[in-house]
Amino acid sequence: MREKRKFGKRERVVYSKLKESVEVPNLLRIQLESYENFIKEGALKVLKKFSPIKSQPNRADLRKGDKGFVLEFVRTRVGEPKNTEEECREKGLTYNIPLYATVRITDMSTEEMKEEEIF
């Protein structure tokens, strides 16, 4: 059985006996789910692997009673992109978004804590 079908701009002759074609799976689903997971949870998990970061005071600082600092990653958030996806395609730019991390710095000598968001 011969049948003509249009594929894009071209018309082709199809000799297949089957009328139904196989449904194409969503091939981007895994990548998109992985990206979403990284943005929501993964970035903080990676940073927490290195947390807390402790400074090592030198001998002179130890004599003064300085015990150093401890830096801990508290949370992350994603900012807004500078350009839209369309603008990036038109201008040949990379589509990116800023990732911010909130860190807690503790002065071990005074036990003073300070939280600040960094880029």
pLDDT digits (tens, 9 = 90+) for 44-102: 999 999 889 998 877 666 667 678 889 999 999 999 999 999 999 999 999 999 999 99
Report yes or no on 18 lying in a domain.
no
User: What single-letter amino acid sits at 16?
Assistant: S
Query: Would you say residue 19 has pLDDT above 90?
Result: no
pTM of the model as a whole: 0.62
Tokens coding 95: 């589509």
Report yes or no on 23 lying in a domain.
no
The stretch 4-18 carries a mean pLDDT of 80
Q: Are strands 3-7 and 99-107 parallel, antiparallel or unpaired?
A: unpaired
Report yes or no on 74 lying in a domain.
yes
Report yes or no on 44 lying in a domain.
no
Looking at every residue in the chain, the average pLDDT score rounds to 86
- Alpha carbons 43 and 75: distance in angstroms, whole number: 9
- Alpha carbons 104 and 71: distance in angstroms, whole number: 6
Report yes or no on 45 lying in a domain.
no
Report yes or no on 5 lying in a domain.
no
What is the number of structural domains in the chain?
A: 1
Report yes or no on 56 lying in a domain.
yes
Domain that holds residue 98: 50-119
